[in-house]
Structure 1
């Protein structure tokens, strides 16, 4: 091959390379996924006094009356109805954790 032929091929190859880069850039810009909105976790369900009372009553029937009474006092009340509704979730977790030591 002559020098002129090689120079011509090199120029065509350079043009081809630039064209390929433009195509790749165009494809890359189109393929970028749209930002997905962040997924929101569902808000925890608000517990009612009746739901907490049911678990407390079940634990009491199972023989854990003193433990249930101790938890109610821990949350600053003499009766279950005296506990702030914002504390129901934490109280319920503690009530559910009460069990006979194996």
Structure 2
């Protein structure tokens, strides 16, 4: 993601935050209960978003472990998920692959 896109996202988030603060201030000034315009959005924002793990992140972690002398173990992880190479692993298993890679060399 480019730096410009990240900055535009920050500006958008700051505008949204300012709108929310204004709504709270208005409600407090009127001493009346307030409702947000998008109640579902407020709930979604309070829940931590699951960061989608990319193939590049998995590849980097497995390369790190392989360079540490754990190449055979890395191959076993890949085989565990029914593949002969990393790019064939279903992206829904990337988080599990990373968890398996984390414990390599720790035990």
Answer with 1 or 2: which has the greater Rg. Answer: 1
Q: Which runs of 5+ in 2 are unaligned?
A: 1-33, 35-41
Shift of 1:42: 1.3
TM score, norm. by length of structure 1: 0.59
Shift of 1:45: 0.3
Q: Which has the higher contact order (CA 8 A, sep 6+)?
A: 1
Match of 1:87?
93
TM score, norm. by length of structure 2: 0.56
Shift of 1:41: 2.2
CA distance in 2: counterparts of 1:52 and 1:93, whole angstroms: 10
Q: Which runs of 5+ in 1 are unaligned?
A: 1-33
Shift of 1:100: 4.9
Q: Which of 65, 85, 89 pairs up with 1:59?
A: 65
Superposed structure 1 runs of 4+ greater than 6 Å apart: none
